[in-house]
Structure 1
Amino acid sequence: MRRIDVIGIGFGIFAAGGIIYLILQYAGLDSISAGIWSQALLVGGLVGWLLTYLFRVLTKNMTLAEQMRNYEDAVLQKRLEEMSPEELEKLQAEVEQEKRQSAGN
């Protein structure tokens, strides 16, 4: 994310708070109540966003983690494509031997 994007998002949140405040005043709340409710809504939104971010971190469903998985899968696929049939048979035999050993334990 670029610096200008962060500034734009910050300005947008600031403007949203002002708009919510004006809407609440128009709806009949006095200025103090409208200010409290607009702050409560903005803080609630921030906490909600933070919870979704923490959920993505804990489930490793973030962009960087996905890019790393895709890269690792692509590297492994390329290595498998470059292997000769004899190397593939040897690798398959090793995998099956490990499966039998882990099933025996």
Structure 2
Amino acid sequence: MRRIDIIYIGLGIFLAGGLAFLVLQLVGLDSQQAGIWSQALLIFGLIGWLLTYLFRASTKQMTYNQQLKDYQEAVLQKRLEEMTPEELEKLQAEIEQEKK
């Protein structure tokens, strides 16, 4: 993620908090209550994002892990494609031997 993306995300969150504050005031809450509830919404959103991040990290579904897995599979696929039929037969025989 680039720095400008982080700036846009931060600005978006800041504007969402301000918008929530204005909407809550339009609904009928006074400015103090609207401020408390808009901050609560932002905190709950932050906690929700943190929980999804922890879930992705614990299940290893992060971008880096996925890229590494895709790379390793591509390398193995390329090696298999480059093998001669005799080498493939030999590899299959070794696999069958290991299964027994």
TM > 0.5 fold call: yes
Alignment RMSD, CA only? 1.1
User: Structure 2: any 5+ residue segments left out of the alignment?
Assistant: none
Task: Name the CA distance, whole Å, in 2 between partners of 1:29 and 1:65.
Answer: 46
Q: Secondary structure at the match of 2:71?
A: helix
> If the length of structure 2 is used for normalisation, what is the TM-score?
0.92
In structure 1, what is the Cα distance between the partners aligned to 2:84 and 2:4? 51
Offset, 1:65:
1.4
For structure 1, list consecutive stretches of 5 or more residues without a partner in the other structure.
101-105
Q: CA deviation at 1:74?
A: 0.9
TM-score (norm. length: structure 1): 0.88
Alpha-carbon distance in 1 for matches of 2:81, 2:6: 43
How far did 1:73 drift?
A: 0.9
Structure 1 residue runs of 4+, over 4 Å off? Answer: none
Shift of 1:4: 1.3
Q: What aligned pairs does 1:7-86 form with structure 2 within 5 A after superposition?
A: 7-86=7-86
Query: After the TM superposition, which of the residue ranges 57-66 and 38-47 deviates more from structure 2?
Result: 57-66
Higher alpha-carbon deviation: 60-69 or 14-23: 60-69
Please report how far the alpha carbon of residue 53 of structure 1 lies from its aligned counterpart in structure 2 after TM superposition: 1.3
Q: Is the partner of 1:22 in helix, strand or coil? A: helix
